[in-house]
Structure 1
Amino acid sequence: MSPRREQEMVPRAEFRSYYGRPILKQPAWKVPDVPGYLFLGGLAGSSAMLGALGGATGRPGLARASRLVAAGSAVASVGALIHDLGRPERFLNMLRVLKPTSPLSVGSWILAPFSGLASASAASELTGLLPRLGTAAGAASAGLGPAMCTYTAVLLADTAIPAWHEAHRELPFLFAGGALTSGAGAALIAAPAAEQGPARRIGLIGAGMELAAAYRMERGLGLVGEPYRQGRPGKLLRAGRALTAVGAGLSVLGRRSRAVSAIAGAAYLAAGLCTRFGVFEAGKASAADPKYVVIPQRERLAGAAEPVVIEQSGAALSRP
């Protein structure tokens, strides 16, 4: 007769810190300033690229609408950042020195020239003055567009917040895909129906990229991926995925209907907002719970403590 297995009586571990304080300091960034800043920057970058594409392919309506959206979103993004910082001079102080090792410094130096170039392009579009310079400014802002779409993801991943730091491979793809769908959404609302072809295709590419990155973040990060699935962050991210799918489907079905295209565009934009707010809230949740800090650290230490065998001249050498 085989011996009975002992029933496990050890209660589930609870992770606490001294005096009940979190191990990590909660992000001090304001809501909705910072999530809005994340969303608006991506929208501005992708819209600048769509504006340049519209101008290069003989679609003046798409070019005009996208350039205006790029400028308005960039200015609003700067405003959200300044409001979070508290005083305008703090943003100006970040431009005094360029530190290549600081994502915040590099991001400031991306945002500032992009905003100026996008605004110059939009001003030329509205007034009709200096069209060549306006086109050149639009092309230059489009060159900075990919960086605008992704640098905020690097900014989050460079922190110690577990849900952001452990997702450093996936966040740039998630934000890039969301930026493409947001820019496409704005174009589906504002551009003439006959010129929306590039926006539809870019929106579908962005939707595929965003959904794939979101799945990998939620399922491939192990324990640290929990905040992306649970609570308020989980609800926001599920809503973002659903709206992205709706926007992609309607953008295909609504090729001949301006109203359906506008609904698809609104779904894309709402999805971008839900995703940025969901990612931000997931980071806060992971910083508040010590287990997302303690367990991954213990797992890494346990992996580093395993003996390593090195073959050298036929002899096996081990080290702890």
Structure 2
Amino acid sequence: MVDKAEFRSYYGRPILKEPAWEQPDVPLYLFLGGAAGAAASMAAMADRTGYPTLTRTGRIVAAGGATASVVALIHDLGRPTRFLNMLRVFKPTSPLSVGSWILAPFSGLAAASAASDLTGRLPVAGTVAGGAAGVLGPAMCTYTAVLLADTATPAWHESYRDLPVLFAGSAVASAAGAALLVVPPRELRPVVRLGLLGSAVELAAAFRLEHAPRLVSETYRTGRAGKLLTASRALTATGAVLSLFSRRRRSVGLAAGIAFLAGGLCTRFGVYAAGVASAQDPKYVVIPQRERARDSRAHSAPVPAQD
């Protein structure tokens, strides 16, 4: 019998460098930007269907989340000029470039919409800005997932199909959670539906992410990432259940909103932790590479000639 092989790198160093982004800056950037995008879309829909308090809440959350997201990103970059430098060119093949050009106009539009709503000035311009921010909302919810998946970090790169869905569902649930903290009971019906939809998408995507037939899936089930994502599932499910009773008691709605928001935070920190863990262990680099090489050889093998 031969002992199970252990995958090690030269001098005990990881094959890949760990993500160089700072914590908690980048996980907060992922969370705040996604929640802002979903809130802007929620506000745009609420404005069209006659929910004034929900409209104002969504616009304020969108503006505040986008601004805080930019602050977290700039703090990670070190200098504001580095963020401005990313806007010097537009490169469609670069998720970072595309993401910068989504974040910058979205932040301006969300801020203009919220300012118009709060001051009562230029209401038509504010409505147009809010609608445009709502159109960009889905991209705000998901572009950060594409940005992570475009890196060489195994847990993120191998999960490029699931991460955008997970981030979208989590962002929608977080936006609903923020609304549950403020919106009066008479306007909660669409918020509850939005929270249930977001939580269902998030939980389904999380299950697929953690149980997909990929080696890196275990990084989402073990260690710090596993604990955070387990907490995220529990909080999101709790928020969904409590939201069903939020129209009866204000305290229940507050608890549901807090649970949704806390679940969204745990999701982003958990995904980030899984990426770090996958970069530290050489097996998550070596084994998938060998499997891809074996599959490539199998597909390129010559077919025997038929008599």
* TMscore range, shorter length: over 0.9
Please list the CA deviations of residues 142-173 of structure 1 after superposition, one character each: whole Å capped at 9, or x if unmatched.
Answer: 00000000000000000010000000000000
Match of 1:145 among 123, 137, 154: 137
Contact 1:117/1:138 (CA < 8 Å) preserved in 2?
Answer: yes
Give 1:255 shift.
2.2
In structure 2, the residue matched to 1:52 is 44
Q: Which amino acid aligns with 2:242?
A: L
The residue number in structure 1 matching 2:106 is: 114
Equivalent of residue 270 in structure 1, options 247, 262, 267: 262
Match of 1:96 among 76, 88, 98: 88
Paired residues of 1:310 and 1:316 also in contact (CA < 8 A): no
Q: Does 2:227 match 1:235?
A: yes
Moved more, 138-147 or 10-19: 10-19
SS at match of 2:181: helix
Q: Which runs of 5+ in 1 are unaligned?
A: 1-7
Deviates most, 197-206 or 160-169? 197-206
How far 1:196 sits from its partner (Å)? 1.5
**C-alpha separation in 1, matches of 2:157 and 2:182:** 36
Give me the whole-angstrom Cα distance separating, in 2, the residues matched to 1:311 and 1:229.
41
The match for 2:68 is 76
Q: Secondary structure at the match of 2:104?
A: helix
Distance in 2 of aligned mates of 1:311 and 1:253: 63
Cα separation, 2, equivalents of 1:222 and 1:307: 20
Q: Aligned partners of 1:78, 1:25: CA distance in 2, in Å? A: 25
Confirm whether residue 285 of structure 1 aligns to residue 277 of structure 2: yes
Q: What is residue 306 of structure 1 aligned with on the other side? A: 298
CA radius of gyration, larger in: 1
Structure 2 Cα separation of the partners of residues 191 and 256 of structure 1: 13
Runs of 4 or more off by more than 3 Å in structure 1?
307-312
Equivalent residue letter for 1:233 = A
2:1 aligned with 1:12, yes or no?
A: no
Instruction: State the partner residue of 2:31.
Output: 39
| Letter in structure 2 aligned against 1:94 | M
CA distance in 2, matches of 1:71, 1:307: 51
SS at match of 2:195: helix
Please list the CA deviations of residues 63-102 of structure 1 after superposition, one character each: whole Å capped at 9, or x if unmatched.
0111101100000000000000000000000000000000
C-alpha separation between the residues in 1 aligned to 2:252 and 2:194?
Answer: 17
Residue 198 of structure 1 deviates from its aligned partner by 1.2
| Alpha-carbon distance, 1:311 to partner | 7.3
Show the counterpart of 2:205: 213
Q: Which moved more, 1:57-66 or 1:11-20?
A: 11-20
The CA distance in 2 between the partners of 1:256 and 1:52, in whole Å, is 26
The aligned residue for residue 4 of structure 1 is none
Return closer, same or farther for 1:253/1:301 CA change in 2, 3 Å cut-off.
Answer: same
| 3-state secondary structure, aligned to 2:244 | helix
Deviations 1:31-62 (Å, cap 9, x if unpaired)?
A: 00000000001100010011111111111010
TM-score after normalising by structure 1: 0.93
- How far apart in 2 are the matches of 1:42 and 1:308? 42
Unpaired stretches in structure 2, ≥5 consecutive residues? none
TM-score, normalised by the number of residues in structure 2: 0.97
Deviates more, 1:137-146 or 1:187-196: 187-196
Q: How does 1:161-200 map to 2 (within 5 A)?
A: 161-200=153-192
Paired residue type of 2:237: A
* Structure 2 counterpart of 1:27: 19
Contact 1:309 1:316 in 2 (8 A): no
Call closer, same or farther: CA 1:309–1:87 in 2, change over 3 Å.
closer
Q: Matched residues in 2 for 1:129 and 1:221: separation? A: 55
Counterpart amino acid of residue 137 in structure 1: A
Whether the 8 Å CA contact 1:167–1:221 is kept in 2: the answer is no
